[in-house]
Structure 1
C-alpha cells in the first residue's frame, strides 16, 4: 500500500494541475468557433472522459506513464481562427477529420515523419502566432477590468515566484472568487452542477478542412505528441508512438460529435507523472498516469458548472487566465522559432501572418502562415556548392631563365 501512495498522489496532482491550468483555454476555443455554453460544456466533458480513458488504456497496456490531455495549443488555434462559415457543425466536422488524420499518422508512420519534417523554426513560429492573441489578454484585462484582473495577475506573479506549479490554478481560484463577489446572487443561482451532453451532427466545408482541420492536426502533432514523446524518452522510456496516436485519434474522433476538438499525449504535465517525484522506481510510475486519467475524467463531471461560472465573467477575464497559462508555451515557441539564424526571416514571416488573424478564401491565418514561411525558405534557400575535389598539385617547374640582352641593346 505504501508503494501506491506516492504515484497516486502524483496522479491526483497531475489531473488537478492539468485541468485547472487550461480548461479556460478549451472553453474559450470552443466558444470562439461557434459553440453555445451548453455545447462548450459538453465538449469539455468529452475531452476529459476521452483523455481519462486513453490514459487508463495506454498505462495499463504498456505499463508506461503515458499521460493524456486535450490539445491546449489546438484550443488556442480555435480562438485565433474564430467563427467558421457554416457555424459549429462545420467546426465539429473539422474535429472529426483531425481525429482521422491522427489515426492515419499512427497507422502510416510516413505521415508522422512528414509532420516532423516541417522545419522547426516555421512550426514554432506558427504556434507562437496562434498563442499570441490569448497571451495578450492579461494586458487587455488589466486595462478593461482592472478591479478583477489586478488580483488575478498579482496571484499569478506571487505563485509563479514561490510555487510555480500552482501559479495558474491559484490565479484561477482568485478569478472565481472575484466573479462570485461581483455577480448578483440571482446569477450564481443559475450555475448548474449536472454534466451536459450535446450531440452535434458534423457538417463539411472545404475551407474548414484546410483552415481548421489541417492546422489543428499539425499543431496537435508538433506541439503535443512530439514533445510528449520527447519527455518520456528523456526519462528513459521508449513509448509506442504509433499505439498512442491510434488510440488518441480514435478517441478524438469519438469525442468530436460531443464537442471535443482533440486529445493527445500530454506535453506540459507529462513530467509530473513520468518523473522521479511520481515514484523512485520507473516501472511503477504508470500508476500515476492512470490515476491522472481517472482524476481528469471525474473532473469532467463538473464541466457544466465550470462553463456556467465562466459564462458569468467578463470574457476578457477568462481569456486573461488562459493567457497566463500559455505564456510559458509562447516563450518556448518563440525560442524554437528564432533558434536558427538562417531561418529567422522565414520564422518571422510565419509568425506575423499567423498572428494577423487574416482569413483568405475562408482559410485562417495559421495555414497561410505555414505557406508563407515555407515559401520564404524556398525562395531564399541557397544550395551550397560542393568544394572542388582535391587533386594532386602539379610538380613545380623551375622558372624559365631570363634571356640575355642582345649585344646592341643599350642598358
Structure 2
C-alpha cells in the first residue's frame, strides 16, 4: 500500500484514539458552552476589529501612526477655540441653546460627560427618595421611571426636538406663550439636544443600580453612625453615599459608554431640523463614512476614528472601575434579619417629593408619549398639538 494512503489512515486512527481518551475526561456540554460564544465573539468582534486595526495602522504599505496623527492635529476633530455654535444666544424673542463646536472628538467627550453627570444626579436623587422614603403612590412612581427605558431609537430625539421648536413646540407654547414663565422662546437643539435626549433615556439605568446598592446596605452601619452623632446630610455624605458608590459607578460606566456610542439621538435631531452641530459627534461621523463608502470599503481615517471611540469608552470604564477598586465597601451583614431604613414623610417634604417625581416622570416620558402621537395622529405635519 502506498504511503499516500497509509498516512491519512494513520492520522484518522490517531484522531479517533485521542477522541476516545478525551471523551472520558471532558464534558461535551461544557465544551459546547465555551465554543459557541467563542465562535460568535471571534466572527462578530475579533475579525471586524482586526480589519479596523489593519486599516488604521498601515500607511503607504508600512505600519504607521499617520492616520491618528492627522486626526489629532485636524481642527475639524479637535478645536479648543470653538468657531461655531450657540450657547444662550438671544436673537429676537428666541434663545438658542445648541452647544459650542469644539470638534468631533471633543464634542463627543463633552456630551458624554454632561450626560453622565446629569444622569447620575437624577438617578441618585430618585433612587434615594424611592429607597428611603415611604409615601402614597410610591410604587406607581417606580413603574413610571421605567418608561424612559422603553426607547424608540431615532424617534425619541425627533419628538424632543419638536417639543422644543421655537414657534410650534409644546414646551414653548406652555411656558412662554401661556404661562409666561420663560423670558424667551427656547430653541434647544444640536449638542445640547443630544445630551438632553440621552439624559432622559439613561438616567433610569443609574437609578436602578443605585437603588439596588441602597437596598443592600446594612442598616446597622448607618445606625452606628447616628449613635456617633452623624445625621442628615452628614450621614448621607459620610456613610450612605460611599456605600451606594458601587451602584452609582456601575450606572455611570454604562451611561458614559452608551452616550459615546449613541447614534439615535444625533440622527433624530438631524432628521428633525438638519442641525449642523448634531452631525459633529464621532458616532454620526463614523456612520456617515460607512454609509458613503463604496463597495463596503471604509477609509483608514474612519477606521482610526472608530478605534479612538472604542479607546475612549474602554478608558472611561477602566478609570471609574479603578477608582472604585481603591475603596472597600460594606453592604449586607452575613446572617440575621434586618428591616430596611424607610421613613414616612408628610407635609412640606411630601409636597417637594411629589413635585420632583411628577416633573421627572412627565418630562422623561414625553418622548414616549410623542412617539405614540406620531404613530396615530398627524402631529408630524401639524402645529403645536395633533
TM-score range, shorter chain: under 0.3
Larger strand percent: 2
Higher relative contact order (Cα pairs below 8 Å, separated by 6+ residues): 1
TM-score using structure 1 length: 0.24
- Calculate the TM-score normalised by the size of structure 2: 0.25
